[in-house]
Structure 1
């Protein structure tokens, strides 16, 4: 009997582990190839069966929502951790932009999902994360008083449009993201991802 490749089947006890492996695999695949790769490629990359993929994520939208949930939890924790820091806005928005760069394939899924994605709830949650840091930065004189949450959401849409279409001669998504922020006058520096 041929040896089974991939991770051993641990049954229901491995559900959380399988889910985490699927999200990590999807992040890698979509970062390399975009969101139009066959859905079952994610299961292969994660080393789990297709049944496990579909139990956790019946479709691409469910998978994108899981990724965004992880991203939101990270942003919310960062905002809490640095709430008293005048640079909180810069830290949170820089991380948000990094997430946009790294999760571009998932944003593409949402952009093509139309009404199947709870966009209003997502925008509301994003506004909630950014409001405190924005207010603090404005009180400290680090951001112009006229900047609003709606402006920030527009900047994010501009960022997505730029990243998804690119420009001739670009030097990569991080450079493009930084150019967008510089052009709109937002004093946020986007770091390159950590190596590895």
Structure 2
């Protein structure tokens, strides 16, 4: 006797490129969460599980651990640059996007302030490049009379200080500490959220 498959038992239709884009986005979002909990050396299997895909799918998109970390960090910096590129952008709103990424991604915080090569070959050069891109995005909206414009190093020193305050087991706690640090520095920050077009 042949058993007919029920509609709910059938595999979902292959969406081709749309599924690939969704899987890639899910992997980046899962990696950001896992990295916040466990750092850049988190097991890739945990990231695939969190994204709801198999490890084969992960490796089709990201051939190694470094490629996935780069994709997450590039997205973080890209969102800050997009927020800064808006014609109506103001520094507080751009700082809100930066602060969201600081509270969401411990890996982002670490790479922004990586001085040497550390445990990851090439990380120092990559970190300096990302840090310069973040600085350029912020500096483009920094009024000359702003407290962070007094000396060239003050802007990124403030970012580092806030990054150092971003601790705590929950995103809400990390956000409260980040906002308190900006407030103590006398800096206005807009809504803490990812960049939204």
Match of 2:122 among 113, 116, 121: 116
1:93 aligns with 2:101: no
In the alignment, what sits opposite 1:128? Answer: 136
SS at match of 1:125: helix
Number of aligned residue pairs: 174
**What is the Cα deviation at residue 145 of structure 1?**
4.4
- Residues 28, 174 of structure 1: CA spacing in aligned structure 2 closer, same or farther, 3 A cutoff? same
What per-residue deviation string (whole Å, max 9, x for no partner) do you get for residues 99-134 of structure 1? 111112444478564442212221221222122111
Contact kept in structure 2, 1:76 and 1:129, CA below 8 Å: yes
In the alignment, what sits opposite 2:104? Answer: 102
Mind listing any 5+ residue stretches in structure 2 that lack a counterpart?
A: 1-8
Rg: which structure is higher? 2
Higher helix share: 1
Contact kept in structure 1, 2:101 and 2:108, CA below 8 Å: no
**What is the Cα deviation at residue 78 of structure 1?**
1.7
CA distance in 2, matches of 1:193, 1:34: 22
Mind listing any 5+ residue stretches in structure 1 that lack a counterpart?
A: none
**What is the Cα deviation at residue 19 of structure 1?**
1.0
CA distance in 2, matches of 1:53, 1:9: 20
1:42 aligns with 2:43: no
TM-score by length of structure 1 reads: 0.71
**What is the Cα deviation at residue 193 of structure 1?**
5.3
CA distance in 2, matches of 1:9, 1:25: 23
What per-residue deviation string (whole Å, max 9, x for no partner) do you get for residues 43-100 of structure 1? 11212111221232234432222122222222222222145x6xx1121122112211
